[in-house]
Structure 1
Amino acid sequence: TALAGRRLVRAELRWPTLAGADLVGRTVLHTRPYGKHLLTRLDDGRTLHSHLRMDGMWRVVPTGTPRASGRSPRVRALLADERSTALGIELGMLDLVRTATEHELVGHLGPDLLDDTFEEGGLAEGLDRWRARGSAPTCDVLLDQQVVAGIGTIYLAETLFVERVHPWTPADEVDAAQLLRTARALMLRSVARGPAPSAVHARAGLPCPRCGATVRRDAARRPPYERPVFWCAVCQAA
């Protein structure tokens, strides 16, 4: 939002494969999120693609302030107009591609859970992809970005808790549409109001806020791609 429609007066891509790229003078059209990917589209038909991974972030500060200098070695990208500077800090991925070929980066993903049109078309596509996973564990399918893009470990845990679903229930035995709608609602609430305190995520060993039982931590997916799952063995019994 800070850079949309603005002409870049400074641009630095501190990435081995992009060291010679020059974006100064280009106008930022907008930045579109797709799942966990960010697509910053420019007026010359190129897109700067970034992914935060686990530790990355974008921060916007006023141009001309000390923070806008971007001297920290943690800064991997810097985009600035005359009033705002966007700092890409510890980004996990950075690419510069033609906008027409964005699909080569994100085309393998399922529909974006937070897209404005998700209910009109994305949900049906997501459910088709869900059904193709058969009896795989529900926790694995919720994390599968090729089914629906955007759900990470926090909203995996919180969604299953809200719906009282045992994480390893076969995916073909749950109400997938309800789970996806709940995940979407929780994430949209977080976007609008800021993250709410977790009910179970990262609360292993603490009491469940609903029944008082001890919250457990286990793992979804197989090594080396496992991810933590926090759940209540009483509220979410198999």
Structure 2
Amino acid sequence: MPEGDTVWRTAHRLHEALAGRTLTHTDFRVPRLATVDLSGRTVLEVIPRGKHLLMRVEGGLTVHSHLGMEGAWRLGGPAPAKRAGGDGSDRADQIRAVLGTAEHTAIGYRLPLLELIRTRAEHGAVGHLGPDLLGPDWDPAEAERRLLVDPERPLAEALLDQRNLAGIGNVYASELCFLARSSPWAPVGSLPAPLPTRLLSTAHRLLEANKDRLARRTTRDPHRDRALYVYGRERRPCRRCGTPITTGGYGPVDRRRTIWYCPHCQPGPAHPPPPHTPAGG
């Protein structure tokens, strides 16, 4: 599942392959960009911003994409590859963008957001994001301030809200709640000091440690099948106490998510409360 570390790694691979090189062919397979041709323009840089990708090209333009739940950018040779792997991602109907240079071709699959914007207008696309856990703007004090603005908000929701801090997805939300020994539905304002500070420090440490890894790891166990504490481990024993890991739902009704937790190690609300309504919303 793409989270901040995956997006960081994707951006750096794209930057290494494309930056400083001239686009020889482009093919955008979304209606609003169907007639766009960026051939002849030089790719200036590719940078991550939370879970967003910004590909800046000559002429003051930026290709802005978001990987969502299943999106991916893959690199191939100088001509668009007919196959990009054996996981079904090579299907032509899943391709949303093809950008090629004389050396490499970047292919975007299943991108829920793909748009071309003016580079000077990037703030309108990503300016709402909080401090980026893997960015030069990372500011733990500001992230903590934003996290606690709505003290009644469930912890998992507050962590996942990219306006508070950018880069956390459902995997890290599950793992961080476990590491904090807190129910995912506990009001974020109920966390005793200095737990919020420690939680953000842990989030930063984990994303930094995983940004160069293909297999994400939150435990210290070197075995691949023991890389995570709770995420994806429903009905399997908790690594601390042996209690079966269980799941629950959280978030708005129209964007409900599943979270994994240990009911023994994470005391607090055990069942999802009614959907949260932000103050004034």
1:90 has 2:105 as partner = no
Correspondence list, 1:31-180, <5 A: 31-64=46-79, 66-67=81-82, 72-118=92-138, 122-174=139-191, 175-180=195-200
Alignment partner, residue 234 of structure 1: 264
Which sits farther off after the overlay, 202-211 or 182-191? 182-191
Q: Following the alignment from structure 1 to structure 2, what is the Cα–Cα distance between the partners of residues 95 and 211?
A: 47
Determine which structure has the larger strand proportion and give its number. Answer: 1
Q: Following TM superposition, by how much is the alpha carbon of 1:71 offset from its aligned partner in structure 2, in angstroms?
A: 7.7
- 1:21-53 CA distance string (max 9 Å, x none): 111011111111111111101121110000111
Q: Following the alignment from structure 1 to structure 2, what is the Cα–Cα distance between the partners of residues 108 and 166?
A: 27
Structure 1 letter corresponding to 2:111: L
Runs of 4+ in 1 over 4 A off after TM superposition: 68-71
Which residue, 18, 22, 40 being the options, matches 1:3? 18
Structure 2: runs of 5+ lacking an equivalent = 1-15, 85-89, 218-226, 269-281
| Matched residue SS, 2:17 | coil
Q: Note if contact 1:214-1:232 (Cα within 8 Å) is conserved in structure 2.
A: yes
Q: Percent identity?
A: 40
Q: Following the alignment from structure 1 to structure 2, what is the Cα–Cα distance between the partners of residues 148 and 211?
A: 31
Structure 1: runs of 5+ lacking an equivalent = none
RMSD: 1.8
Q: 1:139 to 1:158 in 2, by over 3 A?
A: same
Q: Note if contact 2:97-2:109 (Cα within 8 Å) is conserved in structure 1.
A: yes
Structure 2 letter corresponding to 1:151: I
| TM-score normalised to structure 1 length | 0.93
